[in-house]
Structure 1
Amino acid sequence: MNEEIMRKRVYGADHEDPDPGPRPGRAYVELVGGPLDGLLLDVTDRPDEQRRTAVPLSTEIGRYGPGGHALYGPRPGAPRRYDWQGDTP
């Protein structure tokens, strides 16, 4: 993994975790735009066909507040980036 990726925080990591960054041997995509911009999403256990579809991610900082979700999907031609597609309740 390159140094820039190693400094990023992984989505779902505990705020108290002294090392919330990526772990060796795991696969990540970068979330781009929206409330989770810049975080990494661990996709290691997602089958390839699921990696090509959008995923709703829980967030309290989106349009719908606590209980809401931000929808991110793969960027065409750049499978290591998932673009924000909007918020859902």
Structure 2
Amino acid sequence: MNGDDEQLLRHRVYGQDHDDPAPGPCPGREYVELTGGPLDGLLLDVTGWSRAEIDGGVALPTELGHFGAGGRALYDPRLGAPERFDWAGDSP
């Protein structure tokens, strides 16, 4: 991935297409930033999630991880900074 690709991913919401005319966050929604790994810089919409759901982390489908299509990138909330989820690895 080159610098241009990385810029396209930054502050785009996970699940929205890179060519979406408004791929960024929407007012009134709650987001966490994914840090590290294949989804670094993307925002994950956690609006309406319970504290338990947020504390449990996520396994997000992605083709960008170690396992390619069908794989998942694992992210856990950062201790002391729950507005960031840190990459914990990839899973098939």
Q: Normalised by the size of structure 2, how large is the TM-score?
A: 0.86
How far has the Cα of 1:65 moved from its partner? 0.2
User: 5+ unaligned residues in a row in structure 1: which ranges?
Assistant: 1-6
User: 5+ unaligned residues in a row in structure 2: which ranges?
Assistant: 1-9
Aligned length: 83
Q: Indicate which of 59, 77, 81 corresponds to 2:80.
A: 77
Question: AA paired with 1:52?
Answer: D
How do 1:2-81 residues align onto structure 2 when only pairs under 5 Å count?
A: 8-81=11-84
Query: What percent of counterpart residues are identical?
Result: 64
Within 2, Cα distance between the matches of 1:62 and 1:69?
7
Within 2, Cα distance between the matches of 1:50 and 1:19?
27
Return structure 1 stretches of 4+ with deviation > 3 angstroms.
none
Question: AA paired with 2:35?
Answer: V
Contact 2:58 2:74 in 1 (8 A): yes
How far has the Cα of 1:47 moved from its partner? 1.1
What is the CA RMSD across the aligned residues, in angstroms?
A: 1.1
